A and B are shown apart, each in its own frame.
Chain A
Amino acid sequence: MSKKSRSKLWFLVHSWLTLPIWFFVLIVCVTGTLAVVSQEIVWLATPKARATQPSDDAPLLTYEQVLSAIHKAEPALAVQSISRPDESHFALVASVVYPDGRSPSLYISPYTGVIQGESPSFDFKAFTRALHGWWLVPFTNGYSWGWYLVSFLGLPLLGSLITGLVVYKKFWKGFFKPNLRFKHGARIFWGDFHRLCGIWSIWFIAVISITGLWFLIQAFMFDNQISISTAGNPPVVARQDVPIMPDGKPAPQISLDQAVKIAADNIPGLEASFVSLPSNAYGHIEVGGPGWYPLLFQTADINPYNGAIEGSRMIADRSGLELVTESMRPLHTGDFGGLWVKLIWFFFGLILSMMVLSGLLIWTKRTALATANALKRSEKPRRAAALTAHSQQPEEANV
């Protein structure tokens, strides 16, 4: 095969990858882009999810102060966890259960402890993530097939990146001489746009497709009971450590602030961005947050009766392989470095969505014809007749 026809073939592969499912790919890209900033969209749409500092020097409340404030306002509420989003303009989120069994999240002011409101029953953040992550297909036995469907797209995405770079001769020149011609018709413009966006998002497409493929591998491993985890079973408070109370009342527990202090004193670098209360009398207080490596959380399990640290999961506890695989999710979602990283992920998500669209536009304007011609050239006349009939279908001819 000549060099020219080989590159022609690469070009056809690039053009045809995922083409029949272009709209599905587009929606997955768009929902993923929205999911990156879903927390920010909720912030924009829901005033009660915001945190406003009453005065410039108003200090942040500690976890125990927040818990007391909640109990003072709603004595019957059961609090399960309190988390502090990593951007200061967000209210604290407390997961609670009402006596009637409803378990919404509450938005709490980090400065006053005032309950600002309940999360709406339509959870935009969870919905966009479910739509993007598993196409809303329920998990009934292991991973849902929607998860496989979406994560499989990592393969054609990576394929598009590689074949795109192969057919784009000397693509690195595009970095120095950006080319975007407006006055030469739509086909030229979209072609330039596709190439320009493509070279600047090489890193992003590589990150998204590789991490997406990891989600596929992760599901496959889970469903086939293959585990690489070095984390043991979650610890349980020993029966003898849970006091028996002659008066029949619950045993006293250490405060959340004591738990946070114990964790911080014993585990250097642990920053508490959430505290989970024990999930039953034999459960631990869990304190967790990011450490020196911003992509992963570290957690400590503290015995609520005697304050002993009975379990922890630190960066250093992870094997090298786990450091890589556990970094996949934050790399995919861009939620490891505050608002700016999210905005970068959002921007390139938009670009990627536009690349799906511009690729389709180029295809309708060029590749359909090129394919038909290529086939015609190498075909015997009698088969060429059949082909012409096909290429006259409206979707290929000139949409």
Chain B
Amino acid sequence: MSKAVAVQPTSTLGRLWHKWRFHINILLLLVPLGFMPKYFADASLFRGDSGLGERDIGTVQVGPWSLQLAELRNEAPRPDGPAGYMKSFNAALCDTCIDQVKAAYLRIGKPRSLRAAGVIFFGTPYRMGATLPIPERTKADAELWITLEGWDGSMHQAAIPLSQASPATIAWLAQRGAK
């Protein structure tokens, strides 16, 4: 019985544990209750009920076409293991260009060619997403380049300042640069 005796409460800490141990249940139950609003906000975000993303960037004209762009989350890039930090954007093509655009890409900095246009968007023309790696050394004046490829083989590009596309990312870069 020596082991059982060893755990008996004699110290202050032991007494506190003895008195409050069953209250851990209450703390544990508060966890899902506390996260519930976040859970439902996320469910609505992914179902598209609360718009294209958490923060709308606006409409970007790309050659003859245009698309609406939004940050999936209005926050700093998230770490993704060895892949580094990632930032997700959502987009919707303009009504008239849905049938003409074959693919859409995102990249930080101007792509040299279509093959290096960056990450491709997945999804439907009404709501598609791309997850972009953000190098930690990205400059604060960097530009987000959007490349649209047409079914006819044409290619059109446009750029917006990263500060306009994602202020949260700029703030994050500034913070990391300061370290």
- Residues of A that sit less than 8 Å from B by CB: 5, 8-9, 12, 20-24, 27, 78, 80, 97-104, 121, 123, 126-127, 130-131, 135-138, 140-142, 146, 149, 223, 225, 239, 242, 244-251, 279-283, 371, 374-375, 377-379, 383, 386-387, 390, 393, 395
Contact = CB atoms under 8 A, between A and B. Distances in A.
B127 A97 contact: yes
Contacts of B32: 131, 135-137, 146
A102 to B, nearest CB: 4
A131 B39 CA distance: 10
A184 to B, nearest CB: 28
A137 B152 contact: no
Given A247-B152, A280-B122, A140 B78 contact: yes
A374 B1 CA distance: 8
Contacts of A8: 1
A375 B8 contact: yes
B5 A379 contact: yes
A101 B151 contact: no
Given A20-B21, A244-B152, A135 B103 contact: no
B63 interface: no
Nearest to A242: B102
B38 A24 contact: no
A251 B102 CA distance: 9
Contacts of B82: 225
Given A102-B49, A244-B153, A97 B123 contact: yes
A225 B84 CA distance: 13
27 contacts: A20-B25, A21-B28, A22-B25, A24-B24, A24-B25, A97-B127, A98-B48, A101-B127, A102-B49, A121-B47, A126-B43, A135-B31, A136-B31, A136-B35, A138-B42, A142-B81, A149-B31, A225-B82, A242-B102, A245-B152, A247-B152, A248-B100, A250-B99, A371-B4, A374-B1, A374-B4, A387-B8
Interface of B: 1-5, 8-10, 18-19, 21-22, 24-25, 28-29, 31-32, 35-36, 38-39, 42-44, 46-49, 51-52, 78-79, 81-82, 92, 95, 99-100, 102-103, 115, 120-128, 150-153
A-B complex: 7 closest residue pairs judged by Cβ atoms: A78-B124, A23-B25, A248-B152, A20-B21, A136-B35, A136-B32, A24-B28
A72 B103 CA distance: 26
A101 B93 CA distance: 11
B79 to A, nearest CB: 5
A281 B114 CA distance: 14
A141 B79 contact: yes
A27 B26 CA distance: 12
A103 B99 contact: no
A142 B48 CA distance: 24
A22 B26 CA distance: 11
A136 B128 contact: no
Contacts of B29: 23-24, 27
Contacts of B24: 20-21, 24
A308 to B, nearest CB: 19
B152 A102 contact: no
Given A78-B124, A97-B127, A279-B123, A244 B151 contact: yes
